[in-house]
Structures are given as C-alpha cells and as structure tokens.
Amino acid sequence: MIQNTTPLRSTRGVMTDIDDLDAAMFAQPRSSGQQVRVATAVVYCEANFGAVDGKTANGLVRHSELYDVLSVIDSEKVGLDAGAVLGDEPKGIPICRNLADALARAGAVPDYFIFGVAPASGMLSTSERGLVLEAMALGMNVVNGLHEFLNDDPEFVAMAAASHVRILDVRKPRAKKDLRLFSDRIVEVTCPRIAVLGTDCAIGKRTTATVLTQALNDYGVKAVLVGTGQTGLIQGARYGVALDAVPSQFCSGELEATIVEAFEAENPDVIVIEGQGALSHPAFSTTSLIIRGSRPDGVVLQHAPKRTHRCDFAQMAMPTPADEIKLIQTFSDTKVIGLTINHEKMSDAEVSVAITQYENELGIPATDALTRPAERLVDMVVAAFPVLEEKLTAGAL
C-alpha cells in the first residue's frame, strides 16, 4: 500500500457573500447530502483554545468544510499560530486578543462569529452574552453550539432582526412531533458501520473519525462520516444529529434514521460514526445510545495513555483500554477492531512505545491518527473487513 501522510484538507481562502450561502446550512439536523460554500469566520475560544473545553475551536482549526477560519479569539495566547498551539503544523490562523483585534486583522467584517467553547454548563456567561450581541450588531451571523438556544431568546431574536443576521443553533433538534423512534431499519445498511468510541470525553474521537473517513476515501474506499455532536456539524458533516440535545427516547431512532439516509443517498463502502463520551463514563449516556442506534459492525477505540483521570472529574480514574473493550463487547454484539492514541503530553518516542505495548497486550492494531501515516488506519479497517480490499486495490491503481 502506498504511504499517505496528507493532512486534513484545508478550505482556507475560499470566500463567499452571505446571501449566496446554501440555505441547507441552516437546517438541523443536517442530512441532505448537499455541499455548502465556505464563509469567513472568527472563532471565539477565550481562555480555552487548545484545552478540553475548547474542542469546538480546536476542531475547526484542524478541519472545516463550511468556514474559512480567519482567527481565533483567546487573550491568553495572543500572537501564536492556532495550528502550532494544537501541536500541528502552522495554519496561518492567528490568535487574537478580542473581537476588535480579530476584525482589524480581517480587514472586513467576517460572515460568522462562531462560539467555539464547549463548557460543561452549555450556557453563555453574562460577558459572553454581550460579546455575541456585539458581533451581531456588527453584522456577523452567529453559530452557536451550546445547549442554550439563542433563537429562543427574545433579545437575540430582536438583534438578529435589527442587524439582518441569522443565528444557527447547531444543537437544536427537530420538533418533537418529527423525532424518529428506532425501527430496526439499520439492518438495511449493508456496508460496514464503524463507530469511533473512546475511554473519556474530549479525547479525540471526532478528529480520529474525520481522519479515518478521509483516509479511506483517499485510498479508494468510499466512506461517509455521520456526526453525533455539535462540532462535527459545525465542521460540515453532511449527515448527523447532535444527540445530547435529543430526548433519550428518540436518540437511537434519530441516529438510525440518519445512518439509513446516508446509506441510501451515498451508497458508501463504509459508514463511520462519531462517538461521544465513553460507555464507562457515569456522566454520559450518549455512547450507549450511539451503539444501540448504529449497531456497529466494528469499533475503533480512542485512548489517551497519559490521561490519569476523566475530564472534569479529578477523583475518577481513567479506565484501561482492555476494560473499556470488555465493556463495549459485552454491551453489544460488536468487535473492537483497533486502538487509536491521543498523544497529549506524550513524546513521539512514547507514542511508538505505547503503540507496540497496546498491540501486544490487546492483540489488535494500534496507531495515532495525527502523527502516524493514514495507511495504518486504512489497514486497520481492511484487516477487519477484508471485503474492502478489492475496493482499496481498485482505488489505488
């Protein structure tokens, strides 16, 4: 197999007028399969860029199909390159002190103000509320990934009308009368379904799922990503639903229906499903509903070897990959086909050692989606689903 180390595709430099943006961008959940043009954006991530609660901003800097990210706002990291802060190659995306600094660097009012922080509360602080209103008054549309829906707030609705801008509440589910229950139509999806799960929240599941989907496509295996959280939808996942905002009774059905829609519209060779939280984590239930709704044929497990405790729970020790695998395979009729590593606080040499140790201990392939060749992810999937090898060979010729 030819080695491929191509980074995530960049959409920087593509500009568009807001009036030309595809209306499908504002429909939730996104499952139409339509592509939308890229708009300019400033991402707010005060005091959190590069950290756990900055995962939305972190993800947008690494990959975005909808937005040309002009800058990130975080006064604690002013002057740094956003890509370098994440440990990646420089992206040419500066980190600015405040909105005024970001606008000065942009030279014009960007199309969007994206709230890139994902706090546990899911709510705006008083100062953040004022900042979003200021951005709207300046003529910026707002992308909001919080649990607080700004379209339900009279003050934000009035500002949107007065400033002729729009608010996209990414997490807002469809009306309850339109929510779908599980139907077992998932059996009609005949291609492999691979869920990227993890041992904790904010551990890199979405990033690995994105890299895996791109790698498969690069090697001739048609793969479609189904997003399950706000960041994936903001990045531009064509199919998905923010499950943590959907009433639990409908989560499995909403995800199942979205996967069926992706299968029928795209006729893919593989469907990759983004995970949320962790099956073993008592603070989250979304993983269990993702497993139920997608009934995955295989699971890729993401783990951070140097993380000693769960995010936001200093007293709660991290599980071992072996324990999480046992739990997943007991909970569902599926198989963990590989382990992917989050290399936070690890040197490259430590990543190599961890890969070897986990492969020996678990008997499955292991890799790091960001620092090791994409070929390893493709090999992981093809080894588990040999039927894909013919597709791979055809695509590589």
pLDDT digits (tens, 9 = 90+) for 158-169: 999 999 999 999
What integer best gives the mean pLDDT of the chain? 90
Domain check: are 378 and 264 in the same one? yes
Q: Is residue 182 located within the same domain as residue 142? A: no
pLDDT over 60 (residue 18): no
In a domain, 286, yes or no: yes
Whether residue 3 lies inside any domain: the answer is no
Instruction: Look up tokens 């390159």; give the residue.
Output: 81
In percent, the amount of the chain with pLDDT more than 90 equals 86
CATH classification at residue 381: 3.40.50.300
Q: Taking residues 173-180, what's their average pLDDT?
A: 94
- Domain membership flag for residue 8: no
Are 372 and 5 in contact by the 8 Å Cβ rule? The answer is no
Q: Is 151 helix (H, G, I), strand (E, B) or coil?
A: helix
Report the CATH number at residue 92: 3.40.50.720
Which stretches of the chain are DSSP H helices? 55-62, 82-85, 99-106, 126-137, 154-163, 205-218, 230-235, 248-266, 286-294, 321-331, 348-362, 374-384, 389-396
- 230 and 343 together in one domain: yes
Which range of residues forms the domain containing residue 333? 178-396
pTM over 0.75: yes
Residue 109 inside a domain? The answer is: yes
Q: Which of 169, 200, 231 finishes a domain?
A: 169
Residue 7 lies in a domain: no
Q: Do residue 130 and residue 192 come from a single domain?
A: no
Task: Please tell me the predicted confidence (pLDDT) of residue 17.
Answer: 36
Residues 190 and 93 in one domain: no
One domain, residues 255 and 316: yes
Q: Which DSSP symbol is given to 132?
A: H
Q: What is the pLDDT of residues 205-246, one digit of tens each?
A: 999 999 999 999 999 999 999 999 999 999 999 999 999 999
Count of domains forming the chain = 2
Place of tokens 């479609």: 224
| Mean pLDDT (whole number) for 8-19 | 33
Q: Which of 37-41, 98-102, 368-372, 380-384 has the lowest mean pLDDT?
A: 37-41
